[in-house]
Chain A
């Protein structure tokens, strides 16, 4: 198990009588970026807090880099950086003072300035945090999670309140760090953003893990479609069906692509039969579609 940094086994957690986590098990490979997604209230933050040793849990086992984690066992936290829910900010301190306060003694001034620079916070890092906008606070929160260059980083909704440029900067930083061996566990609702980052996906619904898969598998599992718009869609459909093309059910004229499907052949077939092609589009099922389908199937029964 040397290559997994986080192991969660059979984790159960109750808030009063309501069971919020049910037998949650998953692991995170070292150096991977793992997305934790699920509907509101599914238990994402709860899992993250449990992993950070902020919660007592009823049963189960959490280990980071082999060390057990619980509210009374925090040794492993030395290797972890995190941003949970919203960044905790003291209004009376400047951004730089926050980084100074929370960074380890072994973290040099250069290292602090390095993350400030990468997050493009230079212009306001010496201003008191009470003057910060939501996005600035969010960036500071992320900087706090990364400043000590931890082995394992947990980010809960890191894109919250970030503008498009900051979003892109964050993506670059995360991908760079991952290349250098940092492991990330990231939750987000902005699936289009998450999709650009993650290697593996963990889907949680109603306190249970419903799906764990690598992105590569997820993408290959989805349908690729060639969507056409022609002068006579009905005729085109018949024609394509006769020529053994698989068509997608639905109102639109869409050919399900496989390895043998060649766009040129489709176009030639249609134009030879005097059907004018007005538009052609490749459509991949994206993370959002796959995920919504997955959650719609509702593998989880409310207990």
Chain B
């Protein structure tokens, strides 16, 4: 299994896009930090930007959706899936090695964005706020950032498990990416309707889109009144949905003829 993860990492590290994406993330974060410093009126308080890792948290979602769909779909696109599968390894191992690689990749992104946001804070906003300042609902700035990271990490993986499944079914990057991105951002569009419907039919609170509110709920307890779920319930819900999508992926991948 370690060999397989190494091989996946080898491929990832030899793609130019891997480096381009990391550089893009840092550049975008820097731009937002500079804009926030120079035009605080338009870009809001620097604390808020810092908590969201200077929009880094959002961009990571995009990049990970693209990476997850491509790590599966590229094998079908390039015809390399046969070379991967006819070896002594089991199919399940091949798929799991890809998941592990993506998990490591997502952790890498969060660490990178976190470190860079700290750096930007020290360089640009050292006199503006302290990490220990109170931010929201009694949480300090740094606590808020960490809660945000944990919350988005869980919800991002809920989306990614769906993207991995779709890439597996459609064997195409485009389909998986579009549905993943639309799915992630559909929440903000339909959440009001969803909350209304949930008032009427309470069981709807268990739908996967509701789990996507986890980062907000971690930061402020009042969100609980909308989601109707306690925080542990949401954490479990996210994990269960992620596991379900992964399990379907696994079955689809194992049964596929190539």
Name A residues whose Cβ lies closer than 8 Å to a Cβ of B: 49, 52-56, 71-72, 74-78, 80, 82, 84-93, 97, 100-102, 105, 144
Taking a contact as CB atoms under 8 Å apart, the answer to whether B90 and A74 are in contact is yes
> Do residues B89 and A74 form an inter-chain contact, with CB atoms below 8 A?
yes
Q: List 18 A-B contacts (CB under 8 A).
A: A56-B257, A71-B91, A72-B90, A74-B86, A74-B90, A76-B88, A77-B87, A77-B88, A78-B87, A78-B88, A82-B82, A87-B79, A88-B79, A88-B83, A90-B78, A92-B16, A93-B14, A102-B83
Beyond contacts A49-B82, A49-B258, A71-B254: 9 other A-B pairs, Cβ-Cβ < 8 A, are A53-B85, A54-B82, A77-B87, A80-B86, A86-B79, A88-B83, A89-B78, A101-B10, A102-B83
Contacts of B81 in A (CB 8 A): 88
Query: Within 8 Å of chain A (Cβ to Cβ): is B15?
Result: yes
Contacts of A77 in B (CB 8 A): 86-88
User: Are B85 and A54 neighbours in the complex by a CB distance under 8 Å?
Assistant: yes
The complex places the Cα of A85 from the Cα of B81 at a distance, in Å, of 12
Report B108 CB to chain A, min CB distance, Å: 19
- When A and B form their complex, which 5 residue pairs have the shortest distance between CB atoms, in order from nearest? A88-B80, A88-B79, A52-B86, A78-B88, A77-B88
B7 interfacial contact with A, CB 8 Å = yes
- Set of chain B residues within 8 Å of A75, measured between Cβ atoms: 88
Give the CA-CA distance A24 to B15 in the complex, in Å: 43
B128 CB-CB contact with A under 8 Å: no
A144 to B90, CA, bound (A): 20
Give B82 Cβ to nearest chain A Cβ, in Å.
5
Q: Which residues of B contact A92 (CB under 8 A)?
A: 11, 14-16
Is B200 on the interface with A (CB-CB < 8 A)?
Answer: no
Interface centre among A56, A72, A90, A105 (most CB of B within 10 A): A90
B254 contacts A88, CB within 8 Å? no
Interface string of B57-98 (1 = CB under 8 A from A): 000000000000000001100111111011111110000000
Q: A49-B258, A54-B258 are in contact. Are A89 and B87 (CB under 8 A)?
A: no
A interface: dominant SS: loop
Question: Closest B-chain residue to A94, C-beta based?
Answer: B14
**Complex Cα gap A89–B80 (Å):** 6
Contact of A54 among B15, B75, B88, B257 (CB under 8 A): B257
Which residue of A49, A87, A92 has the most chain B CB atoms within 10 A of its CB atom?
A92
Give A54 to B80 CA distance when docked, in angstroms.
13
Would you give the shortest CB distance from A99 to chain B, in whole angstroms? 12
Asked if B225 is at the interface (CB within 8 A of a chain A CB), the reply is no
Closest to A72 in B: B90
Check: B132 CB closer than 8 A to any chain A CB. Answer: no
Q: Which residues of the other chain, B, contact A89 by a CB distance below 8 angstroms?
A: 78-80
B78 touches A85 (CB 8 A): no
Interface string of B105-124 (1 = CB under 8 A from A): 00000000000000000000
Complex CA gap A105/B83 in Å reads 16
Please name the residue on chain A nearest to B93 by beta carbon.
A74
Q: Are the C-beta atoms of B78 and A91 separated by less than 8 Å?
A: yes
CB of B101, distance to nearest CB on chain A (Å): 14
Instruction: Specify which chain B residues have a CB less than 8 angstroms from the CB of A85 in the assembled complex.
Output: 79, 82
B41 within 8 A of A: no
Contact partners of B83 in chain A: CB under 8 A = 88, 102, 144
Q: Residues of A contacting B10 with CB < 8 Å?
A: 97, 100-101
- Tell me the residues in window 25-83 of chain B with beta carbons closer than 8 Å to chain A beta carbons: 74-75, 78-83
Residue of B nearest to A73 (CB): B90
Q: A92-B16, A93-B11, A97-B14 are in contact. Are A82 and B79 (CB under 8 A)?
A: no
